[in-house]
């Protein structure tokens, strides 16, 4: 598959994590470490991690889905069922999911997908409605969406093979920005939009800082640009409805440094490993 031209670019320089101040004290480790951690340290092995995290990293499913799979008895180690997602392992050797050995995790892959309107961001729908997996091209590895877009929302949707990376990108504490362009019917002033920078509470739900600008008016509609970091359910629509507007088109144009640019509707473009590695260095831990 040949990627379209000019479909990906990095916004701004990628910066690595800050170095600790000279003389800063390191946080001491636990006085009585978990036996698996003590064994790994004594043998010079890698730091053990929870099985749910390792399986998510391997792209089996999200952490939450893996926890459900463990409850259902679908995951085992050397033939013995796993009973808790807190089980610590240094690798996935001998781990079996649904009767099949788990392969060693491959490097994280990230894809940009221009989602069309009319598709659900889910793998299966009980009502039989079309999903993004009905539209994705053949030949892709198993991918998971980073964040969701409503059925009628279009634009940039990131897809990854790494469940842990997906979780990190979705956490509000990571601070990854999402930008949208909304076409809305009604009247609103730039002053009203600027007040959203302080956040707003709607029906008991607190929405954090939103940067919003009135782009242009076309008759009784206006195009509004919005940037936020939380990504709560239907956040853009709820906030604009709170301001008395009716959203009739919503497009996500950016997620982190990754932009939609001129990627054709329905097309997929894979981010280069170097660009992905540089971006991951900038993420908050």
Q: What is the pLDDT of residue 53?
A: 84
- DSSP label at residue 197: G
For the chain, list the domains and their CATH numbers.
Answer: 47-101 (3.10.290.10), 107-175+261-285 (3.30.70.580), 177-255 (3.30.70.1560)
Residues of the chain short of pLDDT 50, as ranges, are 1-34, 36-37, 39-44
Q: What is the pLDDT of residue 35?
A: 52
**7: its two tokens:** 């479909």
Q: What is the pLDDT of residue 109?
A: 94
With 0.85 as the threshold, say if the pTM is over it.
no
Percent of the chain with pLDDT over 70: 83
Q: What is the pLDDT of residue 5?
A: 40
Q: HSE-up of 236 (CA within 13 Å, CB side)? A: 29
The 10 Å CB-count burial string (b at 16+, else e) for 144-160 is: bbbbbbebebbbbbbbb
Q: How far apart are CA 29 and CA 205, in angstroms?
A: 38
3-state secondary structure 199-215: CEEECCEEECCCEEEEE
Query: Which is the catalytic residue, given 98, 125, 134, 150?
Result: 150
Q: What is the pLDDT of residue 46?
A: 63
Q: What is the pLDDT of residues 182-233, one digit of tens each?
A: 999 999 999 999 999 999 999 999 999 999 999 988 888 999 999 998 878 8
Question: Would residue 203 show up in a list of annotated catalytic residues for this protein?
Answer: no
């Amino acid at each position: 598959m040949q990627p379209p031209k000019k479909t990906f670019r990095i916004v701004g320089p990628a910066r690595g994590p800050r170095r600790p101040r000279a003389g800063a004290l390191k946080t001491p480790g636990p006085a009585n470490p978990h036996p698996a951690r003590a064994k790994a340290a004594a043998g010079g092995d890698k730091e053990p991690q929870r099985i749910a995290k390792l399986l998510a990293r391997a792209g089996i499913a999200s952490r939450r889905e893996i926890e459900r799979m463990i409850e259902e008895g679908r995951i085992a180690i050397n033939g013995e069922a796993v009973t808790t997602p807190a089980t610590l392992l240094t690798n996935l050797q001998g781990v079996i999911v649904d009767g099949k050995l788990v392969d060693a995790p491959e490097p994280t892959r990230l894809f940009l997908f221009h989602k069309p309107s009319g598709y659900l961001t889910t793998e299966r729908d009980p009502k039989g409605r079309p999903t993004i997996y009905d539209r994705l091209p053949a030949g892709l590895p198993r991918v998971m969406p980073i964040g969701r877009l409503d059925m009628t929302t279009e634009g940039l949707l990131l897809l990854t093979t790494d469940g842990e990376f997906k979780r990190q990108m979705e956490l509000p504490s990571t601070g990854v920005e999402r930008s949208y362009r909304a076409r809305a019917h009604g009247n609103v002033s730039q002053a009203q939009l600027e007040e959203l920078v302080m956040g707003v509470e709607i029906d008991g739900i607190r929405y954090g800082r939103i940067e919003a600008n009135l782009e242009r008016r076309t008759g009784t509609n206006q195009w509004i640009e919005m940037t936020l970091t939380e990504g709560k359910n239907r956040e853009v629509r709820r906030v604009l409805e709170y301001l008395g507007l009716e959203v009739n088109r919503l497009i996500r144009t950016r997620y982190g440094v990754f932009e939609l640019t001129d990627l054709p509707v329905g097309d997929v473009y894979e981010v280069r490993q170097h660009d992905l590695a540089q971006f991951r260095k900038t993420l908050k831990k």
